[in-house]
């Protein structure tokens, strides 16, 4: 072909592209799974046991089938919202804005807890109970206008909202106030003070919503530098769980309809690594095992913590793949596996049957 002759193949390709017929995927990606695989590939102190992962996949699938476990369990809990409207989106956004660091070193009877509806709530449920109680008492805890009001929304206000029925205060109240302040400002500047507008800006993409949260809100930007990798490793626990909670609450419809919901990974905190270790799926090096059992502080963003979180994400992904390989017809994703594992370890904890404690890291990320 001479320089003067047209390249017919290239012209056809360009014509297809201009006509919108070329199948080029421009869907967003969160990068969380990619980072987790890198952490796993380079981990020294956390390892995966593939045989145990396969056994866990079979057990998880079997138990989920027996319990008919699904996203519907989310709304079934007495504390979670039952309506599917803008107020519910605001509730979930606030909930996941503040969904971090509830663990205590005190005995169960003395630890931070919320008394609500004649029950005593601890952990994550203490947050949800306190928010419901605040709304009952006329405190607009889910309103971003309230968060921006420095005279109304103060540290003393949060002490009232999260007042404990024990002598222990909710951890990290100052950090929670800072998260509310920042989120209120961002929502005002970019989303007309509306979490619903934020959700709509993602155009039905779970990955896009996660990326918007990480880009616009520093308090959702759960990403960390790891030695040997130029890009930070993205964990994005609370950003991802916001999407998952919307999906579960709205049962995949309306504002919970995400065409790429399966791009969401598990939510790397301290409970899922604990049960994965209990099940033999992940193992710790002797120094890390000693530190976890001794309940020593493991610094946020450090090598140990990043290995715990990154390897947990990759482990759950392998479990998901194994379930899909053996049961291609089943509709399962990392969200449902995470929810199931979290519920299971809480049941083990309530029965006093924990074989290893969860690792101790104080941070706003989980």
What pLDDT does 14 receive?
56
Render pLDDT for 193-249 as a digit per residue (tens, 0 to 9): 999 999 999 999 999 999 999 999 999 999 999 999 999 999 999 999 999 999 999
Name which of 137, 112, 9, 69 is nearest 347 in CA terms.
69
CA distances from 68 to 17, 107, 261, 335 (A): 45, 34, 20, 15
Average pLDDT on 25-43 reads 94
Taking alpha carbons only, the member of 188, 207, 209 closest to residue 198 is: 209
Q: For the segment 113-127, what is each residue's pLDDT rounded down to a tens digit?
A: 999 999 999 999 999
Q: For the chain, where are the E strands, in sequence order?
A: 46-48, 114-116, 119-121, 223-224, 233-234, 282-284
The confidence score (pLDDT) of residue 251 equals: 95
Q: For residue 20, is pLDDT > 70? A: no
* Number of residues that this document lists for the chain: 366
Burial grade of 86 (CB within 10 A; 0-12, 13-18, 19 or more): middle
The tens digit of pLDDT for each residue in 44-74 reads: 999 999 999 999 999 999 999 999 999 999 9
- Model pLDDT, residue 7: 57
pLDDT of 338 above 50: yes
Q: Which of 126, 132, 91, 94 lies closest to 238, judged by CA?
A: 94
Q: Which one from 85, 269, 331, 343 is the annotated catalytic residue?
A: 269
- List all residues 6 or more positions away from 105 whose beta carbon is below 8 Å from its beta carbon: 295
Q: ∠ at Cα 25 (24, 30), nearest 5°?
A: 155
Share of the chain above pLDDT 70, in %: 93
Count CB neighbours of 34 within 10 A.
12
Query: Distance between CA 326 and CA 65 in Å, rounded?
Result: 14
**Average predicted confidence (pLDDT) for the chain:** 94
Quote the pLDDT of residue 162: 98
Q: Which residues of 48-85 are buried (b: 16+ CB within 10 A; e: fewer)?
A: bbeebbbbbbeebbeebeeeebebebbbeeebbbeebe
Contact 335, 244 (CB under 8 A): yes
Let me know: does 141 contact 94? Beta carbons within 8 Å: yes
Residues 199/205, Cβ–Cβ less than 8 Å: no
Output the pLDDT for position 9. 55
Phi-psi region of 14 (alpha: psi -120 to 50; beta: other; left: phi over 0): alpha
- Average pLDDT, integer, range 181-194: 98
β-strand partners of 297: 360
Rounded to whole angstroms, the Cα distance separating 349 from 361 reads 19
Best CA proximity match to 340, nearest among 63, 53, 102: 63
Categorize the per-residue pLDDT at 21 as very low, low, confident or very high, splitting at 50, 70 and 90: very low
Is it the case that residue 33 has pLDDT exceeding 90? yes
Burial 138-152 (b: 16+ CB within 10 A, else e): ebebbbbebbbeeee
pLDDT greater at residue 366 or residue 18: 366
Question: Does residue 18 surpass a pLDDT of 60?
Answer: no
pLDDT at 5: 58
Which pLDDT band holds residue 15 (cuts at 50, 70, 90)? low
Contact residues for 98 (Cβ-Cβ < 8 A; gap 6+): 127, 176, 179, 180
Phi and psi at 22, nearest 5°, equal -80, 130
* Look-up of token digits 């299971």: 344
How high is the pLDDT of residue 176? 98
Instruction: Using DSSP, state whether 223 is helix, strand or coil.
Output: strand
At 26 the pLDDT is 80
How many CB atoms within 10 Å of residue 1? 7
Least confident of 11-25, 133-147, 242-256, 309-323: 11-25
For the segment 258-317, what is each residue's pLDDT rounded down to a tens digit?
999 999 999 999 999 999 999 999 999 999 999 999 999 999 999 999 999 999 999 999
Note the pLDDT of residue 1.
Answer: 47
Indicate whether 13 pLDDT > 70: no
Q: Catalytic: 136? A: no
pTM for this structure?
Answer: 0.91
Question: How many Cβ atoms sit within 10 Å of the Cβ of residue 202?
Answer: 19
């Amino acid at each position: 072909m001479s320089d003067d002759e047209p390249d017919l193949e290239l012209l056809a390709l360009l014509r297809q592209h201009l006509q919108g017929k070329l199948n080029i995927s421009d869907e967003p990606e969160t990068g969380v799974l990619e980072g987790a695989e890198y952490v796993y590939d380079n981990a020294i102190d956390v390892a995966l046991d593939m045989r145990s992962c396969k056994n866990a996949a079979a057990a998880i699938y079997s138990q989920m089938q027996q319990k008919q476990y699904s996203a519907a369990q989310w709304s079934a809990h007495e504390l979670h919202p039952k309506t599917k409207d803008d107020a519910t989106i605001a509730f979930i956004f606030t909930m996941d804005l503040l969904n971090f660091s509830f663990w205590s070193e005190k005995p169960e009877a003395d630890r931070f807890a919320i008394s609500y509806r004649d029950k005593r709530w601890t952990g994550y449920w203490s947050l949800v109970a306190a928010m419901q109680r605040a709304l009952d008492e006329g405190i607009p805890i889910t309103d971003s206008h309230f968060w921006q009001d420095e005279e109304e929304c103060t540290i003393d206000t949060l002490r009232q909202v999260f007042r404990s029925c024990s002598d222990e205060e909710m951890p990290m109240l100052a950090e929670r106030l800072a998260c509310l302040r920042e989120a209120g400002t961002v929502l005002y500047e970019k989303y007309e003070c509306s979490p619903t507008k934020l959700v709509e800006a993602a155009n039905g993409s779970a990955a896009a919503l996660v990326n918007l949260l990480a880009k616009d809100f520093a308090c959702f930007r759960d990403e960390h530098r790891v030695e040997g990798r130029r890009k930070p490793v993205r964990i994005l626990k609370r950003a991802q769980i916001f999407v998952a909670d919307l999906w579960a609450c709205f049962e995949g419809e309306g504002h919970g309809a995400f065409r790429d919901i399966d791009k969401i990974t598990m939510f790397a905190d301290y409970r899922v690594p604990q049960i994965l270790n209990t099940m033999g799926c992940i193992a710790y090096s002797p120094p890390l095992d000693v530190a976890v059992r001794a309940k020593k502080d493991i610094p946020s963003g450090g090598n140990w913590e990043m290995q715990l979180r990154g390897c947990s994400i990759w482990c759950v992904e392998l479990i998901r793949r194994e379930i899909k390989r053996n049961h291609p017809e089943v509709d399962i994703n990392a969200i449902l596996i995470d929810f199931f594992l979290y519920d299971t370890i809480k049941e083990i904890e309530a029965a006093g049957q924990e074989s290893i404690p969860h690792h101790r890291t104080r941070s706003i990320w989980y």
